[in-house]
């Protein structure tokens, strides 16, 4: 499974959630850099880069770490609206994570942690950031696959 495959799984399942209006991904959430035009909220932003750990001793698995932000744009400068947005985004994110766990068999979650976000970025969004560690099979895990990529 490639990084593109993982992003596509997250995108597909996230956009099936009835409340999510926009999915995007990149290094830094910035509404002015929206790759798909204007953002509509609630939105999901897959935050990369991916941190990959190749387990030692060399075996058939590796772990990836990355984050998914679920964001809502509440009324400016209203702490109560921010707090409700954080709660709403946590619920949306938990539903998405559960659906991914049930539907995707090509990787397994090792851990999930969350962080509340308030007045996040220049767009002043609030929401929840889910940090994942997932375990997937390595692309090359046996001598036969290595031999195909190298000259004698």
- The CATH number of residue 63's host domain is 3.30.70.1700
Q: What confidence score (pLDDT) does residue 149 get?
A: 72
The rounded distance, in Å, linking the Cα atoms of 44 and 109 is 19
**In total, how many domains does the chain have?**
1
The pLDDT tens digits for 19-60 are: 999 999 988 887 666 555 678 889 999 998 899 998 777 678
- Parent domain of 137: 3-149
């Amino acid at each position: 499974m490639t990084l593109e495959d993982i992003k596509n799984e997250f995108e597909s399942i996230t956009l099936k959630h009835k409340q999510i209006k926009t999915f995007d991904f990149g290094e830094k959430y910035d509404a002015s850099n929206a790759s798909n035009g204007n953002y509509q909220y609630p939105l999901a932003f897959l935050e990369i880069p991916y941190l990959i750990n190749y387990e030692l001793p060399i075996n058939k698995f590796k772990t990836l770490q990355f984050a998914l932000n679920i964001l809502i744009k509440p009324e400016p400068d209203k702490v109560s609206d921010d707090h409700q947005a954080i709660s709403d985004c946590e619920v949306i994110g938990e539903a998405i994570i559960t659906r991914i766990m049930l539907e995707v068999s090509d990787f397994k979650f090792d851990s999930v942690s969350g962080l509340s976000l308030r007045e996040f970025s220049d767009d002043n969004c609030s929401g929840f950031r889910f940090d994942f560690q997932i375990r997937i099979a390595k692309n090359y895990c046996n001598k036969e696959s290595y031999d195909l990529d190298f000259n004698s």
